[in-house]
Amino acid sequence: MTGMNPVNKKENLRLLRNALKLTQKEFIERFLSSADGKPSMSIATYSNLESKDGARMNEVILAVSEKLGIDSMLFAIPPEEFAEKIHVILPDGTAGEAASRGGAKKGSINHLVNRLTMHFAEQIFTKRLKKGDKIESDRVLALQMGVGRSAIREALKVLEVLGMIDIRPGQGTYISNNEASFFIIPLSWSLFLNGSQIDSIVEVRNLMEVKAAYLAADCMNEENLGKLYAISHRLHNAYVEKDFKEFLNEDLEFHICIAECSGNQVIYSMIQTISNLMRHISGSGMVDEGQLRDIYEEHQKIYGLILAKDAGGAAEAMKEHLRKSTGRYNYR
């Protein structure tokens, strides 16, 4: 027992409890109580063992192993293997039934997406994961989250679309090389869990857009300025050709690129995430060529002030553009 990997112990203990669908209090009552029902450990102490390990971990594992009639050394194996063996550890099928029930009880995919982002972000914070690392299998995640594997797979697909993970068929799932996404995207994504917050999201985005324009006027990154020039050129072509769809696409890219030129990674990531999600839920209220012309001219003014290094002017022009845009788009 003393040579067991401490990370494996606490991870496997948590996997087992989740497979049994027991709260920490229920787990203590089932495995860590005397014959008269008196618990041998407080919930706080047990919770600390699951999150940080501790001196009493071996005591818990021995007690659990004895009641289940299993070899305590099973808790030493990697969590991936432990998850595969849970159906053997619990021959009555409890784990499988629990996971299946969990898929229907734990709420929407949106909620699960949020839980998974927090789960991975915590592991990155504690240095257990870093960019490019392989994450747990869907079987292990299902047990950890207390839901079915199909729900996990669906939620992982959402995370891949958001750019937070990379699903490689036949190889596994990996943390995105841009690990900072896990500290920006969950905040942005959580705003979308309730559609009634769209107005608030737009308001926050607009505040960041004005600041981004202000900072972009001091941009010295030639590559980013080159991107902004290219987007402005494509906007001009779409305007001349009256290609509404292309114009609206480049409109979003224009704002995202200004955020990138700001040099503030948080502003850039937030605006990029919100804009990309808005692309899927917003509809255009643009109905005539007059509005197309107005937006084009407003963009040209912002672009010109950024090139002129006029931070205050760029910010004011962006603020005015966003004020006028409020009536052009329908975010419902």
pLDDT digits (tens, 9 = 90+) for 246-297: 998 899 899 999 999 999 988 988 888 777 666 655 544 455 788 889 999 9
pLDDT band at 174 (very low <50, low <70, confident <90, very high): very high
Question: What confidence score (pLDDT) does residue 97 get?
Answer: 45
Question: What confidence score (pLDDT) does residue 104 get?
Answer: 39
**Among 24-28, 59-63, 76-80, 239-243, where is mean pLDDT lowest?**
76-80
- Contact of 151 with 142, CB cutoff 8 Å: yes
Mean per-residue pLDDT over the chain, rounded = 81
Average pLDDT, integer, range 292-319: 95
Task: State the residue for tokens 């975010």.
Answer: 331
Strand partners, 33: 39
- What percent of the chain is predicted at pLDDT more than 90? 30
Average pLDDT, integer, range 64-71: 83
Question: Is residue 172 classed as helix, strand or coil in its secondary structure?
Answer: strand
**Statement: residue 186 has pLDDT above 50:** yes
**Among 51-55, 81-85, 226-230, 239-243, where is mean pLDDT lowest?**
81-85
Question: What confidence score (pLDDT) does residue 309 get?
Answer: 96
Question: What confidence score (pLDDT) does residue 302 get?
Answer: 97
Question: What confidence score (pLDDT) does residue 305 get?
Answer: 97
**Statement: residue 101 has pLDDT above 60:** no
Nearest in space to 205 (alpha carbons), one of 245, 256, 153: 256
- What do you get for the CA distance between the two ends of the chain, in Å? 58
**Statement: residue 115 has pLDDT above 70:** yes
Question: What confidence score (pLDDT) does residue 276 get?
Answer: 65
Half-sphere exposure of 124 (CA within 13 A, CB side): 24
Average pLDDT, integer, range 31-47: 87
pLDDT band at 96 (very low <50, low <70, confident <90, very high): very low
Question: What confidence score (pLDDT) does residue 116 get?
Answer: 86
Question: What confidence score (pLDDT) does residue 5 get?
Answer: 62
More confident residue, 202 or 139: 139
**Statement: residue 107 has pLDDT above 50:** no
Q: Residue 49 and residue 63: Cα distance in Å, rounded?
A: 14
**Statement: residue 17 has pLDDT above 50:** yes
Average pLDDT, integer, range 23-38: 87
In this predicted model, what pLDDT tens digit does every residue of 201-220 receive, in sequence order? 778 889 999 999 999 999 99
Question: What confidence score (pLDDT) does residue 320 get?
Answer: 95
**Statement: residue 29 has pLDDT above 70:** yes
Residue 165 dihedral angles phi and psi, to the nearest 5° = -135, 165
**Statement: residue 10 has pLDDT above 60:** yes
Average pLDDT, integer, range 108-125: 77
Identify the H or E element spanning 203. Answer: helix 198-216
- Contact of 248 with 275, CB cutoff 8 Å: no
More confident residue, 241 or 278: 241
More confident residue, 101 or 81: 81
Left if phi > 0, otherwise alpha if psi is -120 to 50, otherwise beta: which for 19?
Answer: alpha
Question: What confidence score (pLDDT) does residue 178 get?
Answer: 65
